[in-house]
Structure 1
């Protein structure tokens, strides 16, 4: 049985257990919204929602400083595009670009950020919610020696930890998950695309230590 099939079966069981809690939270939030509308009026609430929907992404402070620097430069600067994936990075020199063109690109696309290197080269970083082509062939998710759910990259035959997600409640996990799922976790679960990546994280997030502590504090 593939991890995807095991994931679907497991989530069905966990979904039933959380349904009652989710319903209670929904009813509580709904009651709060009704109360807020009755206190402040529909017109004021509408203004709040309209304001939120019209808000534009804010350029981060580092990029904002870079834009100010670029605005004082006439002509062109050398640019390198850095694609930062969930796993892996790719850097591509794109040559000299006009500073005004760069400013328009940075302020018009929230996925971009930029920093000027000491040598005057501008590094434009793009956040991509996917795995890099190399990681799609070499990445897997497993558990490190401290019990943390971890993403690994095995390019060039080396096992390299790329990022750590959260610590797992191993005892709860071993008492709840099918043996086959545990074996896959201990040996490393191959992730070849972002859907598999998200599915694995979603499955084991139910056994994160932080989540277990939060549920216990709510029950006290």
Structure 2
């Protein structure tokens, strides 16, 4: 059985090309089918994490498959569509892979509780939280805990992240207790 006049999609790294299979007259005369340009939308999938980190993944999607694709991303928030880009957001109730891999709590030069990518001395800030009353902290905690914060407290998961925030929230400079976010 010979099929002709069928449209086929080909996906390359970042663009899709659409072409038609030759029709019967084209097959008989040896003519090549003319390429047809497919409309492509760039899908941007953004994840935000409790630790303040955000990452994005980008992928091309054919416009005629957007409805199916949106079904695949149920629970994601549509945050925008502009210039052929569809942006979806998912708020993760966890810390990011970056924070799990290399996150350290410390205090910056202004005595603000800060989450760093790497040791605090490297000064690669992920997120800042609140000012710490260092004299009240030094009076209220064992010296080892104070020194640990100054050097950097490694976090590997959400439980460690929450533990550090709940320990040091009591030493906020303004004296109020908050969630720290």
TM over 0.5: yes
Contact 2:104 / 2:152 at 8 angstroms: preserved in 1? yes
Q: Using the alignment, how far apart are the partners of 2:108 and 2:134 within structure 1?
A: 12
Name structure 1 gaps, 5 residues minimum: 1-74, 215-220
Pairwise CA distance, 1:89: 2.8
Pairwise CA distance, 1:170: 1.2
Which residue in the other structure is 1:169 paired with? Answer: 133
More strand by share: 2
> Structure 1 residues 192, 204: closer, same or farther in 2, change over 3 A?
same
Pairwise CA distance, 1:83: 1.5
Q: How many residues align?
A: 135
More helix by share: 1
User: TM (normalized to structure 2)?
Assistant: 0.63
Give a deviation string over 1:17-50, Cα, whole Å, max 9, x none: xxxxxxxxxxxxxxxxxxxxxxxxxxxxxxxxxx
Which residue in the other structure is 1:154 paired with? Answer: 118
Q: Using the alignment, how far apart are the partners of 1:149 and 1:187 within structure 2?
A: 12
Q: Using the alignment, how far apart are the partners of 2:123 and 2:176 within structure 1?
A: 31
Q: How does 1:26-65 map to 2 (within 5 A)?
A: none
Q: How does 1:47-196 map to 2 (within 5 A)?
A: 77-85=41-49, 86-96=51-61, 98-101=65-68, 109=75, 112-117=77-82, 119-154=83-118, 159-196=123-160
Q: Compute the RMSD of aligned alpha carbons.
A: 2.8
Q: Using the alignment, how far apart are the partners of 1:175 and 1:186 within structure 2?
A: 15
Q: Using the alignment, how far apart are the partners of 1:193 and 1:82 within structure 2?
A: 20
Which residue in the other structure is 2:21 paired with? Answer: none
Contact 2:40 / 2:84 at 8 angstroms: preserved in 1? no
Q: Using the alignment, how far apart are the partners of 1:174 and 1:213 within structure 2?
A: 18
SS at match of 1:206: helix
Contact 2:115 / 2:127 at 8 angstroms: preserved in 1? yes
SS at match of 2:92: strand
SS at match of 2:84: coil
Larger Rg: 2
Give a deviation string over 1:121-171, Cα, whole Å, max 9, x none: 11212111222223212110000111100011139x953111111111111
Give a deviation string over 1:72-113, Cα, whole Å, max 9, x none: xxx87331211222253332224316444566678x63x634
Q: Using the alignment, how far apart are the partners of 2:91 and 2:142 within structure 1?
A: 35
Q: Using the alignment, how far apart are the partners of 1:122 and 1:158 within structure 2?
A: 36
